[in-house]
Chain A
Amino acid sequence: MKDDQYADNRPTARIDYEALEEFIDEVFKVAEEELSTDEITSMVSTWLRYENTRFLTSAAEKRDIPLAQISEALQRFMMLPESQRNLSPEEATGIRVALVRRFFAEDLDYINVVKKHVTVSDFAAVLGHAFGPSSGNGKLGGKASGLFRAERILADAKADHVVLRNLRIPRSWYITSDGILDFVHHNALEELLSIKYTDPSELRQEHAYLRQIFKNSFLPNEVMNGLSMALDDFGDSPLIVRSSSLLEDSIGSAFAGKYKSFFVANQGTKKERLEALAEAVVEVYASVFAPDPIEYRRERGLLDFHEEMAILIQEVVGSRVGDYYFPACPGSHSAGTSSDGHPGSAATMGSSAL
């Protein structure tokens, strides 16, 4: 039997560290002999410039990197002069894919589409309007993912379609999906996390009570500070507070009308507006534990999925007429939840007194 008979399925022999260093030296020697000095200098300079943005690659590639850390890395990148924001093409793709996976979805079909339409600065813009537990690793949820994809595709299509030139996506802020867990722990409501396994009729009976428990609970300071910042940005524009859960809008489970979205008139003092906004957020959280979505999940075998609820807060686009606010494109549906990507479609808005 020959010694190398099984060579193909034996691990490759290790060469020592010094030999690897010698190999790199050899590579440079070959370059020196085969390429001009100018060409080598130019290439080495380019690769060294890529090193200036390596911090972003390292941050993006960390699975489940906390929101605060990745936001800081993106901000640092965006603060570099444009001429120094150098990323190699493969690193730029790697960062885009890692950020899509971290904040939007791990679904490959989604990633394949989105990665072609986004830039790193698009993420910086989104995360500049996102808040939640700073050490957490929440995502932005299904609805926000769909909106982000649509927005990026339409932005690219503007160049070729005149009709899209004036298209504007309503200003949006996001609370990451782990905000709901933080809220639950902050108010010692952990027992509710297993309420989904309760008998459906019991669930239906007690939900009105649970909703009030939620409405008498408090959002953690971090989230309240984020809401306050969002209000400073929105001013007194009417808002819609929309559910954006991890399961929502995923393949085979649209959750249409299952989770809640609420119109917030956003009028009065800053304190009043903040309280109203916080109350709407809490009520969207309560809808995760409502009988209808739980039943919907049970029917589809999704009950054991660790559901989290991100929140999408959007400015309502429309016109004020006296004490009323009319959305630009009101839709029609009964559950108060919009799934068509336009916040103005909530039926209750058309006659909401301000």
Chain B
Amino acid sequence: MILADTASTLGSEAEARVPKPEWCVIVDLLWETNPLLVKRIGRKMMNYLFKRGVKRIGEVMADVLTKGPTA
């Protein structure tokens, strides 16, 4: 049991040591400091993905934005 816990802890630490890409750090920081800016950049990324022909973005959009009232 103790071993399993330790392994799990070590695993998480190892995972945490994998450096995040720079853009990801920036986006995380912006979520904390300027969420409106992340939304603007997210919208630009959405359009960019469409322009690059990434079909999955259309599916994500359809899934999230047209699934009906959640509030």
Task: List A residues at the B interface (Cβ < 8 Å).
Answer: 13-16, 19-24, 26-28, 30-35, 37, 40-41, 43-45, 47-48, 51
Contact B45 A15 (CB under 8 A): no
A-B contacts, 28 of them at CB < 8 A, read A14-B71, A15-B67, A15-B68, A15-B70, A15-B71, A16-B70, A21-B35, A21-B39, A23-B64, A23-B65, A24-B39, A27-B45, A27-B57, A30-B57, A31-B49, A32-B24, A34-B49, A34-B52, A37-B21, A40-B21, A40-B45, A41-B21, A43-B44, A43-B48, A44-B26, A45-B23, A47-B41, A47-B44
Contact A19 B70 (CB under 8 A): yes
Q: Which residue of B lies closest to A41 (CB)?
A: B23
Contact B41 A44 (CB under 8 A): yes
Dominant secondary structure at the A interface: helix
Contact A15 B41 (CB under 8 A): no
B2 within 8 A of A: no
Contact of B64 among A14, A15, A35 (CB under 8 A): A15
A/B pair count, beta carbons within 8 Å: 81
B7 within 8 A of A: no
Query: Which residues of chain A are within 8 angstroms of B39 by Cβ–Cβ distance?
Result: 20-21, 24
Chain B interface residue bracket vs A: 20 to 34
Task: List B residues at the A interface (Cβ < 8 Å).
Answer: 21-24, 26-27, 35, 37-46, 48-49, 52, 54, 56-57, 60-61, 64-65, 67-71
A34–B55 Cα distance when bound, in Å, is 10
A34–B52 Cα distance when bound, in Å, is 10
Q: Which residue of A lies closest to B56 (CB)?
A: A30
Contact A27 B23 (CB under 8 A): no
Contact of A16 among B24, B44, B71 (CB under 8 A): B71
